Structure 1
Amino acid sequence: MSVTFSANKISRRIFRAPELSPAATSPLTIDPAEQAANGADIEAIWASAGAFHSSGMHPMVSMCLRHKGKTVLHRSIGQARGVNGAEAVGAQLDTPVCLFSASKVVSAVLIHKLAEDGLLDLLNPVSYYIPAFAQNGKAGISIYQLLAHRAGVPGVPPGTSPSVLFDHQESLRLICEQPPLDIDGRILAYHAITGGIIATELVRVCTGLSMNEYLDQVIRKPMGFKSFTFGMPKSSRGTEAHNYSSGLANISLVGKHLEKILGADVDTVVALSNTDDFLGAIIPSGNLYANADEACQFFQMLLQQGQWQGKQILSPLSVYRLTAEASRPQHDRSLIIPMRYSAGAMLGGRVMGLYGRNTPYAFGHLGFSNILCWADPQRDISVAVLNNGKPVIGSHIFSLLGLMENIRKNFPQKDDMSAWSGNFGQHEH
């Protein structure tokens, strides 16, 4: 099925839709490994993805969906690089895309792996491993609270230059010196960047390795991934998708609030994400690069309770700890909406959630701004929707909601979830 880009002049003027090269004509690439999906209307799902792309907010969309472990949809459309008159580069199935905040689940898995191997305890204070973190009342904040966005240090001090992201020691110092929102970790406030900086230091203290070295050891090499690194190696730069500002100019209250969360205005963050400094940095909360198939495989591995092609990447009990609800849905002081978290993931909702209606078992993460990666054990699916436009408010919203609804309704939920919720391995006495 072919889908073409259709953003008009009004869309480009009001919603800042990037202008694609006529020569590229939004090429569609389909993985020949796609299989039948047991009655699911894959073309209807892809038509929704095509409408999402055609909204004009995302020069490229790459999507992979697995059902019962089989790839049933893996397609890419549009331009990975070169819009607004620049030389066009079409999106490919293996084009690496920055996952932004969806990177957090990957870094969380690494912390859970440290716990699984007995190198740390999730209930221990962060300061047990990083003594400087105890400053200004944070001595009792646990690693678990950090993973669940309750560490009380959701951002760096106002006025801090975004370039501090590229200096791990300075970032760590700023976080350690801050007083927490609450010394007992009772306040929920999304940690956009800070959690990953602490995670990096925990990995270093416990293993002596960098995050990419530990990622290679635990996930990337065992799962056979080509990309899947924090930042992009110099030898691979130029293959990744560029990020582009789109949507209404972020000068509203929404834009100002995002500036508070991100540490800079949205357009500055987007421009920064295309620089060599960003590509060369290790930012575990925000710059893992992966293609859609790799992101989908990662969540499929978690859906299979840590198993991948005969290898146990993470134990079933660690998957349980990663995906179990940390608390009931609660108002998030950073995002200003009710959120439901586990110790490392954003969870779905019984009525409505990030992954559509009636998705209480779903777990995954949103990435700036419309990247979505998740698994839903109740429907036996793993999904990655990657893109390179960065709208906040734009012409894409209804098509994105339509895509999520089409996925949800095409894979009916199971009523009996005992095989998922009660099968995390048994302790041998």
Structure 2
Amino acid sequence: MALAGDPADLVRIDRMAEVAPAEAGLSESAVESIAAAMLGDMFATRIYPAVIFCLRRHGRIVLNRSIGYARGLGPERPLAPDARIAQPDTPVCLFSASKAVIALLTHKLAEEGGIDLDRPVAHYLPAFAAQGKSRTTIAQVLAHQGGFPRFAADDRGPEVLTDWNACIERICATPAEAGGRRLAYHAFTGGFILGEIIRRVTDAPVTDYLDAKLRKPLGMRYFTYGLDGRSRSRVAENHVAGQPVRWPVSRWAEEALSLPFEDVVDVSNRDFFMDAVIPSGNLYATAEELSRFYQMLLDGGVYQGQRLFEAATLARAIRPASNPTLDRTLKIPMRYSEGLMLGMNPLGLYGPMCGSAYGHLGFMNILGWADPARGLSAALMTTGKAILGGHLVTFMRSLGVLNHHCGGLRA
């Protein structure tokens, strides 16, 4: 993909509600270097029509900026006359970064005594016991060791993701694949099962539980599954970007996503997708809202004096559930907790020397995370979807700049 139009017309950067860098223990030059890397350099790859980034350090917002266009700029097309500039408060679909939220809601329900994470899923959802899954625990589902990483080949398609009851029925009928013994990323299936457990135990939609435990206490405008009609004119549009996805990469992507790569992007811009509740894949939020969520976790589960999670709950949620291990779905070494993707040393998902970091990646360079060693919580939103290319080098290099300037915690 090449971004059409004069690049000089595309470099407007908007900012919102930032404190002076010194209030967060950073210099002005450090903040501008981070901004240049996380926004300017990412946008300059010409992969992302919009880039939005929010950084909190020691709880203070030092960067909350956007660059590019939320709508009206796409692959090989001229800038549309009605194009809309991306703003810091533009809502974006988090895709798989949504998994962190359904995971923490599951941990919250356990904290309240509604479930036991170490009990089998079938204790709460009897039909799940079919096809060798009777011993699979909730904890194993959270840690991507549930043994049902994907829908059956004949059950794939957009309608699978938008019909909740059909999803649950199909997952329950899916044979186990070495559940509890093999690490394999569950792109969509795990979130539906966790959401169904919450629905059955609370006797209410999972969105109600999300509203009560996270969205309302954190004062979020968006931060829920799907998007209401009045907000859809503001949402950022997603685009296929980069080189065409061909075999064998295309086959790997479809196995991991349960849909062809291009279909995932197309579906994400459709009303029926925004109407649906997909716990693993369609939470909408601004970058600041996602950073706020991780700051609450970084602050021990407390937000503005209100305790949302007990310390023991968060300790379990970020505790490693596995050593770095080859993920049989993603085909790369990964380290998970019960619900989160963990950083690694010397290099990991959150950049160099990020072994204490935790968070979650979303479809093609959407990232929300907290790094206790650096006192930061951050969210990166991007709208171009490309699997391979030089933009990945820029992505890791930009994280390196961020980590370098933030250093370690102050004494």
Q: Work out whether the TM-score is over 0.5.
A: yes
Q: Could you say which residue in structure 1 is the equivalent of 2:61? A: 71
Q: Which amino acid aligns with 2:349?
A: L
What residue number does 1:169 align with? 165
Alpha-carbon separation, structure 1, partners of 2:250 and 2:149: 17
1:99 and 1:34 mapped to 2: Cα distance? 26
**Does the 8 Å CA contact 1:80/1:91 hold for their aligned counterparts?**
yes
1:27 aligns with 2:17: no
Aligned pairs for 1:219-368 (under 5 A) are 219-368=214-363
Residue type at the aligned position of 2:307: Q
Can you list the C-alpha shifts for 1:229-283, whole angstroms capped at 9, x where unaligned? 1010122211110000101111132222011111121111100100011011100
Closer/same/farther in 2, CA of residues 415 and 296 from structure 1, 3 Å limit: closer
Question: d(CA) in 2 for partners of 1:349 and 1:386?
Answer: 22
Match of 1:47 in 2: 36
Alignment identity in percent? 43
Residue 25 (structure 2) aligned to one of 38, 57, 65 = 38
Does the C-alpha gap of structure 1 residues 136 and 73 become closer, same or farther in structure 2, counting only changes over 3 Å?
same
Q: 1:22 to 1:247 in 2, by over 3 A?
A: closer
Which of 179, 183, 189 aligns to 2:175? It is 179
> Per-residue displacement from partner, 1:115-164 (whole Å, max 9, x unpaired)?
00000000010000000000011000000000000000000001322311
Match of 1:402 among 379, 393, 397: 397
In structure 2, what is the Cα distance between the partners aligned to 1:315 and 1:21?
Answer: 51
Segment drifting more, 260-269 vs 143-152: 260-269
Residue 394 of structure 1, CA deviation: 2.8
Structure 1 runs, 4 residues or longer, greater than 6 Å off: none
CA distance in 2: counterparts of 1:212 and 1:20, whole angstroms: 40
Change (3 A) 1:32 1:213: closer
CA drift at 1:22: 7.3
Amino acid at match of 1:174: R
Partner-residue secondary structure (3-state), 1:192: coil
- Rounded to whole Å, the distance in 2 between the matches of 1:415 and 1:295 is 24
- Would the aligned equivalents of 1:300 and 1:382 in 2 still touch at CA under 8 Å? yes
Given candidates 95, 103, 108, the residue that maps to 2:103 is 108
- Structure 1 match to 2:209: 214
Query: 2:280 and 2:321 mapped to 1: Cα distance?
Result: 19
User: Contact between 1:20 and 1:59, CA under 8 Å: does it hold in 2?
Assistant: no
**Structure 1 unaligned blocks of 5 or more:** 1-15, 417-429
| Change in 2 beyond 3 A, CA 1:329/1:279 | same
State the alpha-carbon separation in 1 of the partners of residues 308 and 358 from structure 2: 18
Other structure's SS at 1:386 match: strand
Distance 1:26 1:39 in 2: 25
Residue type of the partner of 2:98?
A: S
Which one-letter code corresponds to 1:51 in the other structure?
D
Instruction: Give me the TM-score of the superposition, normalised by structure 1.
Output: 0.90
The count of residues paired between Structure 1 and Structure 2 equals: 400
The letter of the residue matching 1:31 is M
**Separation in structure 2 between the aligned mates of residue 197 and residue 162 of structure 1, nearest angstrom:** 15
When residues 308 and 258 of structure 1 are mapped into structure 2, their CA distance, relative to the original with a 3 A threshold, is same
Q: Structure 2: any 5+ residue segments left out of the alignment?
A: none
Q: Are the counterparts in 2 of residues 93 and 292 from structure 1 also a CA contact under 8 Å?
A: yes
* TM-score normalised over the length of structure 2: 0.94
Q: Which amino acid aligns with 1:17?
A: A
Counterpart Cα distance in 1 of 2:59 and 2:352: 22
**Kept after mapping to 2: 8 A contact 1:61/1:385:** yes
> Following superposition of structure 1 onto structure 2, how do residues 153-164 of structure 1 map, counting pairs within 5 Å?
153-160=148-155, 161-164=157-160
Question: Structure 1 residues 21-30 or 56-65, which shifts more?
Answer: 21-30
State the shift of 1:21 in Å.
7.5
RMSD of the TM alignment (CA)?
Answer: 1.6
Provide the rounded CA distance (Å) in 2 between the counterparts of 1:198 and 1:289. 20
Q: Which deviates further from its counterpart, 83-92 or 106-115?
A: 83-92
